[in-house]
């Protein structure tokens, strides 16, 4: 792979993937922590609101229970915690790869075409992440 094509790959694909995984990881982390905080606070408030025996607060307790159910469902349905850790791992692994390439470490030391090897390894990481995402988000089949 020539240097110009490699530089284009770095600019158009590699750094874009690092940005994408970093942004998605940050978003998933924010959503997970926000929902878990809401669920936790609502879970704690529900029994407190119920023991007051005030009609208005009872309705608030019902609302709080609904918030717990919806928040818990959202956390599970969208796999925010799993996505957060998976995307962060992929982002950090991608970042590490350029250092191996620049320092000629590992397989890059004896590689005939280190740029092609770099592209192959980066695409393998991205492909692996895509496959993991499909496994985590594929509809679960009911046993017969």
Residue 130: both structure tokens together? 């895509």
pLDDT of 15: 96
Which residue, chain included where needed, has tokens 């089949």?
Answer: 141
The reported pLDDT for the residue numbered 140 is 67
Q: What does 55-123 look like in DSSP terms, one character per residue?
A: HHHHHHHHHHHHHHHHHHHHHHHHTHHHHHHHHHHHHHHHHHHHHHHHHT-GGGSS-SSHHHHHHHHHH
Query: Where exactly are the structural domains of the chain?
Result: 3-137
Contact between residue 124 and residue 47 where contact means Cβ atoms under 8 Å apart = no
| pTM of the predicted protein model | 0.83
Residues 114 and 107: their CA atoms lie apart, in Å, by: 8
Q: Residue 134 and residue 88: Cα distance in Å, rounded?
A: 17
In the prediction, which pLDDT does 1 show?
84
Per-residue model confidence (pLDDT) at position 134: 74
Sites in the chain below the pLDDT cut of 70? 137, 139-140, 142-144
d(CA 83, CA 24): 8
Cα 49 to Cα 60: distance, rounded to the nearest angstrom:
7
pLDDT given for residue 142 in this prediction: 67
Q: What's the confidence (pLDDT) of residue 106?
A: 86
């Amino acid at each position: 792979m020539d240097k110009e094509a490699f530089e284009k790959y770095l600019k158009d694909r590699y750094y874009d993937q690092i940005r994408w995984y970093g942004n998605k990881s940050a978003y998933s982390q924010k959503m997970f922590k926000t929902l878990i905080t809401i669920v936790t606070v609502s879970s704690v408030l529900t029994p407190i609101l119920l023991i007051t025996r005030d009609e208005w607060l009872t309705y608030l307790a019902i609302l709080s229970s609904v918030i717990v159910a919806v928040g818990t469902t959202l956390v599970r349905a969208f796999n925010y915690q799993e996505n957060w850790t998976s995307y962060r791992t992929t982002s950090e692994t991608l970042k590490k790869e350029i250092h191996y390439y620049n320092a000629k470490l590992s397989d890059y030391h004896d590689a005939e075409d280190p740029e092609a090897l770099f592209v192959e390894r980066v695409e393998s990481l991205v492909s692996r992440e895509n496959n993991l995402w499909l496994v985590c988000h594929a509809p679960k089949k009911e046993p017969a």
